[in-house]
Amino acid sequence: MREIGIGLIGTGFMGKAHAIAWRAAAGILPGALRPALRVVCDVDTGAAAAAAAQFGFARHESDWRRVVAAPDVEIVSITAPNAFHREMALEAIAAGKHVHCEKPIAPDAATAEEMTRAAETAGVVTQAGFNYIKNPLLKHARAMIEAGELGEITGFRGIHAEDYMADPDQPHSWRTDPSNGAGAIADIGSHIIGMARYLLGPIAEVNATLETAVKTRPVAPGAAERRPVLVDDIARLTLRFARGYGGSIEANWVATGRKMQLGFEISGSKGGLVFTQERLNELLFCRAGGDSARAGFTRIETGPAHPPYGQFCVAPGHQLGFNDLKTIEMAEFLDAIAGGARRGPDFREAWEVQKVVDAAIESSRTGGWRAVS
């Protein structure tokens, strides 16, 4: 193995997930490159120092530009708020670094295109953080669809619903700052849009309604002053896929009681599939026809028959988790950098997802169907 230096920007939830995944990838899914944790960065020097000590980074910084410029860093992992993604990624690309950036990579499709073209011109490898599709069962579901086990697809229903913004006294943050882009449709809707594309291909048209359920929020924790909310809390999309079938998507971050309802139902002439991230080690499959007294969905439970599950655990039914999916994501990114298959999703795929988000925003603003162009 050759060591490859990692520079991580951000120490919040996703920063910690990246650090865990980089550490785990080398041991669980070893390849030609072994990630070496060189430097971690946060504007909060204390947080950076704590992350360096906890995860074993060689040093810490408070200025992200030092991470990008560091000669011992070959991969820059960006987990900062969305508004910073463009500048950080473009500087990293200009420095010849490979870039992993959390989704959405940009506030709009035009910016995502700029980042994509810069990376492709520079010849660096990119990755966007759509880690949920790294689930071995999602790969199995796509293989079933491509093999024709569902027959002709007749419909898709997708949802990503959580409740982390349901409290009306949850204060404004980068999530509700329009400079970061749209609200729920971009923050969590991009996941189910990306999943729909992964399973069924490009989305050609959307007809959408975006709604702000919580009209004002405190300017700071505990503050009496409130400021209007200018991003969406709920997005409802009707879809037409490029292959001709229709579907729907909901993105909702004020769905009381839901913690991770990222899921889908796909119907076909020969069968159907159901999945939810709340039970991410199970895929439900129904085969059409047969004995009507025994009709219904059967459970496919993840195990060593669904690679790379077996490299985490030799026994089926012992289950993978969120950080394991992130580990698979990082391992596949390393493999791509080493010259293996580019399984993505890369910046170009993130750009395609952002096109759908932008079309939905425009549809909601003006009414009617909008092409995803």
Q: Quick: pLDDT tens for 287-300.
A: 998 777 778 999 99
| Cβ 128 vs Cβ 350: under 8 Å | yes
Q: What is d(CA 127, CA 139) in angstroms, rounded to the nearest whole number?
A: 18
Same domain membership, residue 188 and residue 108: no
Residue 220's pLDDT is what?
95
- Can you read off the two tokens belonging to residue 171? 């204060």
Domain boundary among the residues 115, 131, 147 is at 131
- Can you read off the two tokens belonging to residue 78? 């960006």
Same domain membership, residue 206 and residue 188: yes
- Can you read off the two tokens belonging to residue 372? 């995803």
Same domain membership, residue 46 and residue 166: no
For the entire predicted model, the pTM comes to 0.96
Same domain membership, residue 65 and residue 194: no
Kindly report the number of other CB atoms within 10 A of residue 322's CB atom: 16
pLDDT digits (tens, 9 = 90+) for 199-258: 999 999 999 999 999 999 999 999 999 999 999 999 999 999 999 999 999 999 999 999
Closest-CA residue to 52 (of 41, 44, 62): 41
**Which burial class, exposed, middle or buried, applies to 84 when counting CB atoms under 10 A from its CB (0-12, 13-18, 19+)?**
middle
Closest-CA residue to 64 (of 54, 83, 77, 46): 77
Same domain membership, residue 236 and residue 97: no
Same domain membership, residue 123 and residue 138: no
Please name the amino acid found at residue 29: L
| Cβ 165 vs Cβ 254: under 8 Å | yes
Same domain membership, residue 235 and residue 149: yes
Domain boundary among the residues 105, 131, 157 is at 131
Same domain membership, residue 69 and residue 51: yes
In this model, does residue 1 exceed pLDDT 90?
Answer: no
Kindly report the number of other CB atoms within 10 A of residue 123's CB atom: 9
Same domain membership, residue 200 and residue 119: no
Closest-CA residue to 92 (of 48, 125, 58, 132): 125
* CATH classification of the domain holding 284: 3.30.360.10
In this model, does residue 62 exceed pLDDT 80?
Answer: yes
Same domain membership, residue 167 and residue 33: no
Kindly report the number of other CB atoms within 10 A of residue 179's CB atom: 9
Residue 293's pLDDT is what?
77
* CATH classification of the domain holding 52: 3.40.50.720
Q: Where are the beta strands (DSSP E) in 295-353?
A: 298-301
Which backbone phi and psi does 25 adopt, to 5 degrees? -55, -40
DSSP 3-state percent helix, strand, coil across the chain (nearest 5): 40, 25, 35
pLDDT digits (tens, 9 = 90+) for 147-184: 999 999 999 999 999 999 999 999 999 999 999 999 99
pLDDT digits (tens, 9 = 90+) for 297-327: 999 999 999 999 999 999 999 999 999 999 9
| Cβ 35 vs Cβ 331: under 8 Å | no
Same domain membership, residue 253 and residue 360: yes
Domain boundary among the residues 131, 162, 179 is at 131
Q: What is d(CA 169, CA 165) in angstroms, rounded to the nearest whole number?
A: 9
Q: Where are the alpha helices (DSSP H) in 147-267?
A: 184-187, 189-200
8-state DSSP, 75: E
| Cβ 329 vs Cβ 177: under 8 Å | no
8-state DSSP, 302: P
Same domain membership, residue 331 and residue 188: yes
Total number of domains constituting the chain:
2
Q: What is d(CA 6, CA 37) in angstroms, rounded to the nearest whole number?
A: 5
| Domain enclosing residue 326, as ranges | 134-371
